[in-house]
Structures are given as C-alpha cells and as structure tokens.
Amino acid sequence: MPDATQTPPEMPTPVMAIESSCDDTACAIVTTDGRILAETTLSQSGHVPFGGVVPEIAARAHLSALPALVRDTLAAANLQPHDLGAIAASCGPGLIGGLIVGADMGKGMAIALDRPFIAVNHIEAHALTARLPGIAPNGAPFPYLLLLVSGGHCQCIAVEGVGHYRRLGGTIDDAAGEAFDKVAKMLGLGWPGGPAVEQLAREGDPHAVALPRPLMGRAGCDFSFSGLKTAVAQKLPTEVRTALSRQQAADLAASFQQAVSDIVIDRLGHALEMMERPTTLVVAGGVAANGVLRARLREFASAHDLPFAAPPLRLCTDNAVMVAWAAIETMHARRDLGLPIPDDIAMRPRPRWPLSEMAARMTVDDTVLIPAGA
C-alpha cells in the first residue's frame, strides 16, 4: 500500500478519475496543475425505451464499458498505467450499482499500481469544476455562490473552501432536470428530456401558456418543481384525438422553460441575501447546459456586479474531469494543512453522501474518510 506519510508532488502528476454515478461512463486524466491530458465519456443508450435511467442496466453498462474506456483514455494521453500518480473515482452520491463498479475498478488499479485511491464526492466535484484553470476569469476564488442544477439535484450552496460547503437551500420535491425529463415524456419528446424540451421551446412563445411559479417570492431559497410539472400535465388534452399541435407543444415547452428560469432567478436572489459577499456566481450540473437558463443567470450576475462562471457544456453533465479535479483540489488543500494524500481504499461507495461530511477531510489526519462499516 502507498506510504500514508507521502505528500502531493510539487510537479504536475497525472491523476486518473472514473465517473459512474448514473448513466454516463467516463474516464479522464488530469495533471495536478489542471491540464486535461485526456477525457472519454460514453453515454448509455439502453435507457431510452424506458424513458429514464434503469439502475440495473446502468450498472451492467458501466461494467461492460469501463475496461476499454480506461485503456482508451491512457492511449489518448500517451501514458502507461505506471505513469499515473493517483486514482480517483466517484463514490457517492449516486446509483449504488454504478458507484460500486467505478470504485472497484479504481481501487483495483490503485492496488495493482501501488498508488493512492481517492474517493470523490460527486456533488463536490460539480462544486469545484469552475476552479479548473481557464474556466473562470479570476479562478473562482472562495467563497462563491454555486447553483447546482441537474437531473437529481437542485441546490444553492455557499462554497467557502475545499471541503467547506454550506447548503443554503434545495429542492423539496423534484429536481429541475427531473422536471424537464417528465415534461418531455408528457410531450412525447423522448429521453433525455432537457435538450429535447429546449429544442422544441425555440419554436414557441414563452408567454403563451400561464403556468405557476412554486415558492416564488417566499423566504429562503428552496425550490419546488412538482407543482409546475403537474400544471403542465393539466394543460395536455385528455383524449388522444385532441393531441397538441406542434405549435401548441412548442408554446407549452417554452412556457415551462420560462417558468423554470423565473423560479431559479427568484431563488438565487434570496440565496444572495443569505451569503455575505460571494466572489462569483457559479452554475454547474446538466441543466446548466440550457441556453435560456445560462443567459438569465449571466444577466442576474451582471445586475449584481458578480463575475459569472459556467463550465463548458461537456463539463456540465457528469464527467470524469471534474472527479479528477476534485481529487487534485483535495490533495492540494491537505498539503497546505500539512496532511498526507488521502487513501480511501477501505471506503464503501454510498448512494447518499452529504457535503457536510467533507470538512472532516480537511481536519482529521486519517487514511480512511468514512469507516468501512458506515
């Protein structure tokens, strides 16, 4: 096993990361100064007939794809396995089957190569993506306000440092991405729903259909999208013979998208009041790829004299670059505290892994982040 007293190298050392928390199988190699040497992502298509992710199908697809994906990533980076300095993998939160596949692959490589294995919190990886060199003009210094919007998460988070996160608010029912997927299914647009709804909405009038804005104007920055989703369903014909025309469907999609962006902007205004002088507004997660929402967020940031940072579209959805970068940020932060590289070989993947537990990583000199029996 690696020496627990070693410290991160001063010179850039390649870190390989694996992401398998949902339906994207991904691998990347990133140096400790933030250069992306290679990245590969395989989006699973086996879920399309079911209109959503089937966990068992996802886990089996990860298991089938990962070995070749790792080899392809090494080849793209022109590296051999022994050139790697550490192995990282998403270990939660997410679908447990996929997490086990990715974590076990990473652990096996770490043991075989005698390298440290770094367990990465998937949400922390999204939270730190904007600090990759070249994404934010000022490097997104702490503290910044993060809006995380994806298929499974919708949260406002005060990112105060590596391992230090304060949840300001989150969804009390559906996440924004989940609402997009369900509305897409109602409109017969297939899966994944977010891009399909956005494309159809370009043909529609965002003010054509009156829809509610749940929680809008209320104190705090929690979100709710379940009522909005139900309101869309109530606008649909009850009989097949009176199906929506293309224009009616486009108007409904555009109005739904407008309602989501209105809700998000309102909630962000409250989040800003709850956080003292953030340096930057950062958006991350799959729904951050939505063009209308991005434009509204950019306007919001400008109106509040805040720099705005959004990862490129390929780094908004689940990817392994963010996993590698989160591991690297952890290595650097622990080095600054005089702590060794973490070695999480005994950690079990977790379908739920609160960000609040990450602070312990910056304060406790321990080789295992979470006890194996937890």
* Annotated binding residues for substrate: 148-152, 181, 194, 198, 290
Confidence category of residue 44, pLDDT binned at 50, 70, 90: confident
CATH number of 15-128+316-362: 3.30.420.40
Q: How far apart are CA 330 and CA 333, in angstroms?
A: 5
Indicate whether 316 pLDDT > 80. yes
Give the residue among 78, 76, 67, 12 at the shortest CA–CA distance from 39: 76
Contact between residue 112 and residue 144 where contact means Cβ atoms under 8 Å apart: no
User: Mean pLDDT across the chain, nearest whole number?
Assistant: 90
Per-residue pLDDT at 12: 61
Q: What 3-state DSSP class applies to 204?
A: coil
User: Looking at residue 239, what is its pLDDT?
Assistant: 57
Residue ranges in the chain assigned as alpha helix (H): 55-77, 96-113, 122-128, 176-186, 193-201, 226-234, 246-274, 291-303, 320-336
Residue list for the binding site for Fe cation: 122, 126, 318
Q: Provide DSSP, 349-369.
A: P-S---GGGGGGGGT---S-S
Cα dihedral 317/322/323/326 (nearest 10) = -140
CATH number of the domain located at residue range(s) 142-310 in this protein: 3.30.420.40
Name the band, by pLDDT with cuts 50, 70 and 90, for residue 23.
confident
Task: Please state, in angstroms and rounded to a whole number, the distance separating the CA atoms of residues 52 and 326.
Answer: 28
CB-CB contact of 62 with 204 (8 Å): no
- pLDDT mean over 122-145: 94
| Lowest-confidence region among 4-8, 65-69, 270-274 | 4-8
- Output the known binding site: 122, 126, 148-152, 181, 194, 198, 290, 318
Q: Which residue has the higher pLDDT, 181 or 365?
A: 181
Residue range(s) in the chain whose domain bears CATH number 3.30.420.40: 15-128+316-362, 142-310
DSSP-derived secondary structure letter, 281: E
Q: What is the pLDDT of residues 296-315, one digit of tens each?
A: 999 999 999 999 999 998 99
Strand duo 308-309 + 154-161: pairing: unpaired
* Dist. CA 154–CA 63, nearest whole Å: 28
Q: What percent of the chain has pLDDT over 90?
A: 75
| Inter-CA distances, 246 with 203, 240, 251, Å | 9, 14, 9
Give the pLDDT confidence score for residue 1 in this predicted structure: 44
pLDDT tens by residue, 157-167: 999 999 999 99
> The whole model's pTM is what?
0.90
The pair phi, psi for residue 304, each rounded to 5°, is -105, 15
Judge whether 147 and 321 are in contact, CB under 8 Å: no
The span from the CA of 211 to the CA of 188, in Å, is 20
Query: What is the number of helices (H) and of strands (E) in the chain?
Result: 9, 10
pLDDT of the residue at 365: 47
Average pLDDT score over residue span 359-370: 60
Q: What is the pLDDT of residue 226?
A: 93
Asked whether residue 290 carries a pLDDT value surpassing 50, the answer given is yes
